[in-house]
Structure 1
């Protein structure tokens, strides 16, 4: 089937809304295939059953005459009613031996950022794939994100050139990820500038990027930005720009300067967060501050640093829910969270053991988690999952009840000595949160 114009393609595509995959599976692919073994199966159903492309088409379901790429992907509804993409979109495999000779343009990793026609379906783990409902479609112009894609490509390429392909992490980049692409967790491949074997990886459009596209379309978000991605290529550039006038000043000096108030000895406990909220924005405001935050998974964190360079405290995340641990680690919310999330850490250094309020704004660091970190995190996750299954708080991986070289712990979030563990199983939302160990933070900060 050929289309002469984009309008003609979109008009035809509108007929797919409201259909299930079994209704368009004219080639009966779902009867013989499996989503676990064939990740692109639903895409093949749309190609052959709806657009009438032959299964062996060399065009890979691209609408070549219009230079449009077709993608079929799912979304899920969060507990609060918002929507998020179910998963990243995997593109082509990264060849460590050829990427070192490529430019972004010659790599063709994103087809030179052509238009992408996305067919969205609602994923429901209680349904079979054939019964998933197709609810929407959109034509997205990838070229508007080209600068960030190119910057991400150079970050991935740079690690390979430095002989650090084994240290690649999805959290290194903004939109274009380097996700693992292996048959088993033990698969390894060579890299050109190091003898250390690396996990095979593929380019991907990150989950957060797909979620941003989804929300722009389905939720019809009306966004006005105070700055755009044309000004800043990375989030860390954006944050450093906002903080640049205040480096070398104490927390109190900064807060008094930006608020016009005097604090004297009444130092707020959360003074660092007050500063970052004011200068950069609260978590829920970031997407309104800059387009950079709309399709990325960045979290702003503040951290006191001792004179020996070590962090004074662990780093906490949001409280966990029991229902977060229903899935195996590989399919879990938390694996995707730590895999894709990048921490922007604002460092306040102590001088002569200075107390809170008198620490000096000294640096901004970017932290992401590699495969070794994730393997340790998986142990923590599985220990919590086991504790939930057995309803035994004694199995929870606290700092006092964990395992050797544990990097991710749990601890009560909020008032010390509360009943977080006593009431751990009484409601889905707990009073316990993940904590990154000081040991791991120190390792990340000095690299």
Structure 2
């Protein structure tokens, strides 16, 4: 069937809302629980009535609209989020470098997206998944400016012969995700002899989660940017501008200027500080649209007078059974540092405790950072491989004197083992333990980045 107008197409799409895939399917595809992508094929074939294809143009070519069927899930707190990123078209490295943004394969195929959100529920058969919402999505002016810069970042790396170094963390909304089950899924690139993993354009999972919150749950979010700003500044430059006037001031001076009380020991300190300086006091950082879409996580860095933090930086507590059994490509640590951007909010103690006994904190600035792919596939992977080997061979726990008491040491990769990251305890107390694959109990541990590495990463 040919749909002559957007109105006609969207009217048809709305008819799917509330239906299950089992009710829609006329092909029998739904019986194959293991097939990938067949839910989208059911919608194409059984609902919209057109033959499955792999054309370069948008699915509804005459309207310039691409169809995407995408899952959302309900979280423990009742909120919803995207189950995964939205994978778009595969990047042809050789062709894309000859294009402008407006003639790129990304824009030609994906400038208008008919999104059909369905609810993914664990342990439920695919036939019972239900379409929740059909939505015709066009990028806002603000999103489009950010996406243009993302596309330029991706293509500039390809032009530099660095397609093999592409990482989703390089960009804000538009990613270049790996597309292929194994490392054999590689392609040649135009300006280097090094094979590069096959990749596709994608809208990040965080972008899709934010979109689902707005479209399906009707949540209201706060924006901190506008299109005119983003035409002349990158997203990071815009953030730097918003924070720049406070650099060099003490927290007391900032608190007085903004008429607030700042408690650095409060769990909500960073939330309060950022929202106040952005003039959106009282707004949760999760409700700031740009941060939510870009999967920007926040970390406080407090530099000593020598320019190095006193403490290492902690991340997620470790599930040792997962680590012992997972593959590198599916590991939390790889996916987290490849897909996440961090906004480091940096303070410094300019003088020693002897000169500055009150330990006044000065605001030094911000740094929007993601770990380079060379580090992820280099020292980070080596650390992960060593940890997995240690877990599978058996962790050695030793009781050693510690002052008037004792402590339990282990042979997992510790501080300064590789200059990048390590394992160390992160628990309420010594009795807060978790089981190792070998059956021993160990104080809960977390992934940490070395403080010296953090100092070099922020380099303000």
Q: Would the TM-score normalized by the shorter structure come out above 0.5?
A: yes
Secondary structure of 2:121's aligned partner: coil
CA separation of 1:190 and 1:212: change in aligned 2, threshold 3 A? same
2-structure distance, mates of 1:390, 1:136: 49
Q: How far apart are the structure 1 equivalents of 2:16 and 2:386?
A: 40
Distance 1:282 1:158, change over 3 A: farther
- Give the equivalent residue in structure 2 for 1:131: 128
Give the one of 211, 223, 231 matched to 2:229: 231
Shift of 1:109: 0.6
Distance change in 2, residues 1:155/1:60 (3 Å): closer
Q: Secondary structure at the match of 1:2?
A: coil
Query: Residue 45 of structure 2 corresponds to which residue in structure 1?
Result: 48
Residue 71 (1) aligns with residue 83 (2): no
- One of 361, 364, 373 as aligned partner of 2:363: 361
- Rounded to whole Å, the distance in 2 between the matches of 1:56 and 1:422 is 50
Q: Are residues 1:89 and 2:86 paired?
A: yes
**CA deviation map 1:24-73 (0-9, x unaligned):** 222223446843xx4x3211111001111023474877222332211011
Match of 2:220 in 1: 222
Query: 1:412 touches 1:420 (CA, 8 Å); kept in 2?
Result: no
2:154 match: 156
Pick closer, same or farther for the CA change 1:234–1:257 going to 2, 3 Å: same
Alpha-carbon offset, residue 22 of structure 1: 2.9
Q: Could you report, residue by residue, the CA deviation over 1:158-212 in whole angstroms, capped at 9, with x for unpaired residues?
A: 3333443333221121110011223413655444445554333221111111111
Encode CA deviations 1:396-445: one digit per residue, 9 max, x unaligned. Answer: xx995423538554555576x453327999xxxx9765433335434534
**Alpha carbons 1:85, 1:208 under 8 Å: kept:** yes
Q: 1:420 aligns with which of 427, 432, 443?
A: 432
Cα distance in 1 for partners of 2:130, 2:382 equals 32
Q: Distance in 2 between matches of 1:224 and 1:8?
A: 33
- In the TM superposition, what is the alpha-carbon distance from 1:217 to its structure 2 partner? 1.1
Matched, 1:315 2:313: yes
Find the aligned partners of 2:9 and 2:90 in 1 and give their Cα distance: 29
Contact 1:303 1:346 in 2 (8 A): yes
SS in 2 for 1:214: helix
Indicate conservation of the 8 Å contact 1:47/1:61, yes or no.
no
Contact 1:113 1:143 in 2 (8 A): no
Equivalent of 1:402 in 412, 415, 420: 412
For residue 296 of structure 2, what is the aligned residue in structure 1? 298
Q: Identify the residue that residue 435 of structure 1 maps to in structure 2.
A: 448
Q: For the Cα contact (< 8 Å) 2:343–2:367, is it kept in 1? A: yes
Change (3 A) 1:77 1:381: farther
Name the structure 1 match of 2:241.
Answer: 241
Determine if the alignment matches structure 1 residue 166 to structure 2 residue 164.
yes
Aligned length: 432
Matched, 1:345 2:355: no
Aligned to 2:176: 178
Alpha carbons 1:53, 1:61 under 8 Å: kept: no
Q: Is the 8 A contact 1:251 1:272 kept in 2?
A: no
What SS class does the counterpart of residue 105 from structure 1 fall into?
helix
For 1:231, what is the secondary structure of its paired residue?
A: helix
Change in Cα spacing, 1:198 to 1:126, as seen in structure 2 (3 Å) is same
In structure 2, the CA distance between the partners of 1:269 and 1:9, relative to structure 1 (3 Å rule), is closer
Q: Which residue of 2 aligns with 1:100?
A: 97
Aligned match of 1:208: 206
Residue 148 of structure 1 and its aligned partner are, at CA, apart by 1.5
Provide the C-alpha distance between the structure 2 equivalents of 1:378 and 1:100, rounded to a whole number of angstroms.
33
Mapped partners of 2:318, 2:166: distance in 1: 27
Match of 1:115 among 97, 105, 112: 112
What SS does structure 1 have at the residue aligned with 2:123? coil
RMSD: 4.3
What is the TM-score of this pair, normalised by structure 2?
0.77
Compared with structure 1, are the counterparts of its residues 248 and 167 closer, same or farther at alpha carbon in structure 2 (3 Å cutoff)? farther
Point out where structure 1 has 5 or more consecutive residues left out of the alignment.
none
Change (3 A) 1:114 1:49: same
